[in-house]
């Protein structure tokens, strides 16, 4: 089930990986740029690759982030968990720490813990739309389509132009055999891509 949701999500958004029809805060765009520079200098560093992948993830460049994450050994996940768990203790107001830690848990299969950390991100930064999207993705992988769709709707209330979340919602409708609603959602994606 997990592979299907991730594959579907990534395949569908591959055509929108370069367009950002939604708002991204300047500090996040600056972080992406800084991490791209770090990556050019140290392209084999797990830490650098992970930081860049996360910058892509919370700027909505999901495919770029996922492709980079796939190159990092899964054995790095406990390092991520340890590092960001400690950082969360030192700064409880920094939303990036639980966001990154959630991915560590996700990759070792502790999906409930990943969801809880993405919810922590939302407590700290309620408008971090991609935390909503990743909660939806994880629920979808767990087979809880209804909850996945609920989190998609919550995310789209914050950022109606979040194309990847529209894709996830379309997949939810498809899973529920509501093909017309799935099609309508995909039409929204096409509209957003043309912006």
pLDDT tens figures, 91-116: 999 999 999 999 999 999 999 999 99
Buried b (16+ CB within 10 A) or exposed e, 45-62: eeebbbbbbbbbbbbbbb
Question: Is the whole model's pTM more than 0.75, yes or no?
Answer: yes
Q: Which residue has the higher pLDDT, 1 or 146?
A: 146
Confidence of residue 15 (pLDDT cuts 50, 70, 90): very low
pLDDT tens figures, 22-47: 778 899 899 999 999 999 999 999 99
Q: Are 156 and 169 in contact (CB under 8 A)?
A: yes
Distance CA 109, CA 189 (A): 30
pLDDT at 61: 84
Mean pLDDT across 43-61: 92
Q: What are the chain's domains?
A: 2-193 (1.25.40.10)
Residue 150 CB contacts under 8 Å (≥ 6 apart), including other chains? 136
pLDDT tens figures, 64-90: 888 899 899 999 999 999 999 999 999
């Amino acid at each position: 089930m997990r592979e299907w949701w991730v594959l579907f999500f990534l395949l569908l958004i591959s055509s929108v990986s370069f367009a950002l029809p939604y708002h991204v805060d300047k500090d996040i765009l600056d972080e992406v740029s800084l991490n791209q520079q770090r990556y050019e200098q140290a392209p084999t560093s797990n830490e650098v690759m992970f930081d860049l992948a996360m910058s892509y993830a919370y700027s909505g460049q999901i495919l770029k982030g996922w492709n980079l994450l796939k190159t990092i050994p899964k054995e790095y996940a406990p390092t991520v968990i340890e590092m960001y768990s400690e950082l969360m203790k030192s700064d409880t107001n920094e939303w990036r720490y639980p966001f990154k830690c959630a991915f560590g848990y996700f990759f070792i299969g502790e999906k409930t813990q990943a969801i809880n950390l993405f919810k922590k991100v939302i407590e700290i930064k309620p408008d971090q739309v991609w935390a909503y999207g990743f909660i939806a993705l994880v629920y979808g992988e767990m087979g809880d389509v209804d909850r996945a769709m609920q989190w998609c709707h919550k995310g789209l209330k914050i950022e109606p132009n979040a194309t990847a979340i529209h894709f996830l919602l379309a997949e939810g409708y498809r899973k529920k055999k509501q093909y017309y609603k799935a099609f309508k959602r995909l039409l929204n994606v096409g509209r957003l891509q043309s912006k």
